[in-house]
Amino acid sequence: MPGYLYTLLIPLLPLAVFLVLGLFGRKKMDAAAGIIGSVVLLTAAILAIITAYNYFNTAKVNQVYQEIIACKYTWLQFSPHVSIDMGILLDPISVLMLVVVTFISLMVHVFSLGYMKGEGRLAAYYAFLSLFTFSMLGLVLSSNIFQLYIFWELVGLSSYLLIGFYFDKPSAVAASKKAFIVTRFADLGFLIGILILALNAETLDFRILIERLTNTQSSWALAITGASFMGFSALTWGLVLVFAGGAGKSAMFPLHIWLPDAMEGPTPVSALIHAATMVVAGVYLVARLFPVFVMDGMALNIVAYTGAFSALFAAVIACTQTDIKRVLAYSTMSQIGYMMFALGVSKYGGEAGLGYMASMFHLFTHAFFKSLLFLGAGAVIHMVHSNEIKGMGGLRKLMPVTHISFLVACLAIAGIPPFAGFFSKEEILTAAFRANKFIYSIGLLVSGLTAFYMFRLYFSIFWGKEAAVHGSHGEGTATMRLPLVILTAGTLLAGFVPFSNYVSSDSIPFATSVDWIFSIAPVALAALAILLAANLYKKENDKPQKIASLLGGLYQSAYRKFYIDEIYVFITKKIIFNGIGRPAAWIDKNMVDGLMNGMASVTAEAAAFIKGIQSGKIQSYTLYFFGGIACLAVMVIYLWK
């Protein structure tokens, strides 16, 4: 078995790029910055693919893929048992994520060479992209839950830097703050969850933690299920809080509010972060701790229902939005909902772990077609200089490559065979059907809605009346078209990967096959939705307006994203600021400060009074003198012993 120490290079190469570009990047280096970033990422991607090839071919022992620790370094020793180690853990899902992250990052780098040409501060842009790549790679390779938390925060920071890249736009600044604050708030739950789990299992290392907590007879597992708070065991609390952190990062309801606003960042950034990599960090976290989640049915249920609800919620909203990136953002939220509930309905081991495998498979295929969609949207925006659907139309003649790639991606996301999305969605729906019919029905409904709104988008952009296009710079440079082509190829081929041979809940490969009878329902539903969308949007007509006015209030609420942002603002302003913040400030200012000021002013007044005795008037002094003598006389005469 070859040593895997070279995997250390994979995250360190982007880090080096970040340091070089961050410290030495200057304006005239802008063009070079992109080349440097792309070349280094290419190297990292090649290394990742080599790692994957090595791992999946050689790391099997007794049919089980081994967890390999490529390197380990003890960083902070809290106590003899508990320490934060920095290490690299290689197992099927981390190797999978290595490939996905480096590959998509490479595509985004190449696309940015063309898309961001002429923008300012490009050295900073590529530096941030590399920082993000480094953080994400560190996250997926973490062997220790605290190390994962560290990289988790780094990812949040990189996201903040990238969303707020156009820092002179107030909306971008507000969006970056919102993203950071919401995810940070969720990370509070994450941290408490880590502490609960680590306290009870007396370790922070993933392997040991999982080993201890999944063995129901071990003292740690008994301790954690024995301790309870408000009726739920400590295990439930720990897992639910960890999931809360993941829900924040993955934009699950109700912590999803940052994702649509995060579209203020440059489009390649949205493709990388908010489509393929950062938002799946939550899914990755649940998958990493999946054996422990299986121990607690309540936590898994919460994961499942949150995912299902978010999927439905986002799909409904996406049907009404008119900003191309916002539609894609809600679509991301919906697809991640799929991944979450797939994990939620899964069990552990072999066939029963189908949901786990399906979730990871969907993560893999989703990375391809979602980043393809975002990059295509970027090309369209580059052409039309606007994000609004209403300003677009009939672009299929002007942008053939983008048109075909976008169409392929939409077919994939709708779940039409033989594109990638079909296979992964099938697995998910099968797993849901076997475990929870209610969630299956939601998943089915959402797949129909997905097809509808994606094709609504497609037809509005590429068919219909031709839009007024300014400038004749064509479809975009070769560097913009190349990633689209590569990703289209990926979307076409990714579905055929025999995923269950590589990734499964217990790291033992198992066989799956497509149940064609079962897939009739979702595919038919998707096809119907596509036809409906074509009817409504292919040619200009007023049927959409009529339907919208028919639906009235429901349409309005969906368009306004169900007023969740307004509710949050209300809660923070009226309840927290007015109800808690203001009285606390009042107490601090008037009672605490008031007490101090009162003491000071009493002292000052007493001092002023005493000061007045020194009036400078001789006769007052004489009187005081006489008084003193009288007292002394009395003392001496009567009290002197």
Binding site for another protein (CB under 8 A): 611-612, 614-620, 622-623, 626-627, 630, 637
Give least dist CB 626 to another protein, A: 6
Give least dist CB 607 to another protein, A: 10
> Of the two residues 120 and 627, which places its CB atom closer to another protein in the complex?
627
Radius of gyration, alpha carbons of the chain: 31
Residue 618 identity (one-letter amino acid): I
> Of the two residues 216 and 614, which places its CB atom closer to another protein in the complex?
614
> What secondary structure letter does DSSP report for 253?
T
Given a contact cutoff of 8 angstroms between Cβ atoms, the answer to whether 287 and 419 are in contact is no
Give least dist CB 617 to another protein, A: 6
Triad 112, 410, 374: Cα angle to 5°: 20
> Of the two residues 517 and 636, which places its CB atom closer to another protein in the complex?
636
Bond into 544 cis (ω within 30): no
Give least dist CB 637 to another protein, A: 7
* Per-residue b or e along 540-568, where b marks 16 or more CB atoms closer than 10 Å to that residue's CB: eeeeeeeebeeeeeeeeebeebeeeeeee
CA distance 276 to 96: 13
The pair phi, psi for residue 74, each rounded to 5°, is -80, 120
CB atoms within 10 A of CB 207: 15
> Of the two residues 596 and 629, which places its CB atom closer to another protein in the complex?
629
> Of the two residues 587 and 634, which places its CB atom closer to another protein in the complex?
634
CA distance 196 to 235: 8
> Of the two residues 524 and 604, which places its CB atom closer to another protein in the complex?
604
CA distance 227 to 230: 10
Place of tokens 């440079």: 477
> Of the two residues 516 and 624, which places its CB atom closer to another protein in the complex?
624
Contacts of 308 (CB under 8 A, 6+ apart): 337, 340, 341, 344, 439, 442, 443
> Of the two residues 553 and 616, which places its CB atom closer to another protein in the complex?
616
Give least dist CB 619 to another protein, A: 5
Largest CA distance in the chain: 121
CA distance 43 to 9: 10
Give least dist CB 634 to another protein, A: 8
Give least dist CB 621 to another protein, A: 9
> Of the two residues 531 and 629, which places its CB atom closer to another protein in the complex?
629
Give least dist CB 620 to another protein, A: 7
Contacts of 431 (CB under 8 A, 6+ apart): 342, 345, 346, 354, 355, 358
Given a contact cutoff of 8 angstroms between Cβ atoms, the answer to whether 419 and 491 are in contact is yes
Give least dist CB 632 to another protein, A: 13
